[in-house]
Amino acid sequence: MLRRTLPSSMRAVVGVKHAVDYTIKVQVKGGQVVKDVRHSMNPFDEIAMEAAVQLKEKGIVSEVVAVTIGNAKAVECVRVAMSLGADRSVHVVGDQTAIDNLETLQVAKIFAKLHEELQGDIYLMGKQAIDDDQCHTPQMLAGLLNIPQGTFAAGLTVADDKSSVTVQREVDDGHQTVNVSLPAVVSCDLRLNTPRFPNIRNIMKAKKMPVNTMKIEDLGIDLTPRTATLEISAPEARKGGGKVADVDELINKLKNEAKAI
């Protein structure tokens, strides 16, 4: 993986996924998730976009490219990215079946393929998508490109000479700070920033901006799934709670009904 000499201007590539909206009550009907519901930019990707735009406002990054891989409707995702400040966008489009069967390794491979052209200095993505919660793509992308990664970023600082980035990572027992050389993949966590609302004029402008559309089958990547979904079911409906009269009843219930003790 040849590294360019220190760039005077950085390019940030942001991965944004057109995912089931956070506020939707997901339903399972006939063994399938009901997908004909509101979709929007994956919330963690919104955070990644905000991080990229902030870097651009500080003059650290000179160009932000938003990339989405999805069905035809996913173009809205990059339009939102452009209304927030992305300079240009790429929409890798596939039919619904192709997108449904897409696995995280293939997503990472697509980004790796796009890197040949995009040459991103920093790849920003949400830590995971809220519809599948896989949390694989950023890590795999770093592996495929053989570049370092700073994941679960709650803090992000680019070095003055733009040769590296310091990432404050959220880990189970607190924070871990790593410094990784650029180019690198950074995945963004909840507390990194608060995404802004797009300005209405920018929303209107973004509607008319061009989008570089590529067909997923033209990228020369093997899209054969390596996993098979055996079953999809909704979690059991929550039963109401109850009040107990005294400690004895509590112990009885815990022992004989809940079988917890």
Structure tokens at 61: 């990054």
Our CB check for another protein shows the closer of 40 and 187 to be 40
Shortest reach from residue 131's CB to another protein, in Å? 13
Show Cβ contacts of residue 205 under 8 Å, excluding neighbours closer than 6 positions.
82, 83
**Whole-Å CA distances, 205 to 17, 82, 87, 210:** 21, 9, 12, 10
Shortest reach from residue 52's CB to another protein, in Å? 15
Q: What per-residue string of b and e applies to 163-182 under the rule 16 or more CB within 10 Å gives b?
A: ebbebbbbeeeeeeebebeb
Residue numbers at the binding site for another protein (CB under 8 A): 21-25, 27, 36-38, 40-41, 43, 46, 80, 83, 194, 196-201, 203-204, 207
Our CB check for another protein shows the closer of 7 and 43 to be 43
Our CB check for another protein shows the closer of 201 and 259 to be 201
Shortest reach from residue 204's CB to another protein, in Å? 6
Our CB check for another protein shows the closer of 207 and 215 to be 207
Our CB check for another protein shows the closer of 197 and 233 to be 197
* Rounded-to-integer distance, Cα 50 and Cα 53, Å: 5
Q: Check the CA dihedral 216-116-86-140 and report its sign.
A: positive
Our CB check for another protein shows the closer of 54 and 157 to be 54
* Rounded-to-integer distance, Cα 150 and Cα 169, Å: 7
**Whole-Å CA distances, 7 to 11, 13, 72, 125, 143:** 9, 15, 35, 21, 22
Shortest reach from residue 78's CB to another protein, in Å? 12
Strand 164-171 relative to strand 32-33, pairing: unpaired
Shortest reach from residue 196's CB to another protein, in Å? 4
Shortest reach from residue 245's CB to another protein, in Å? 13
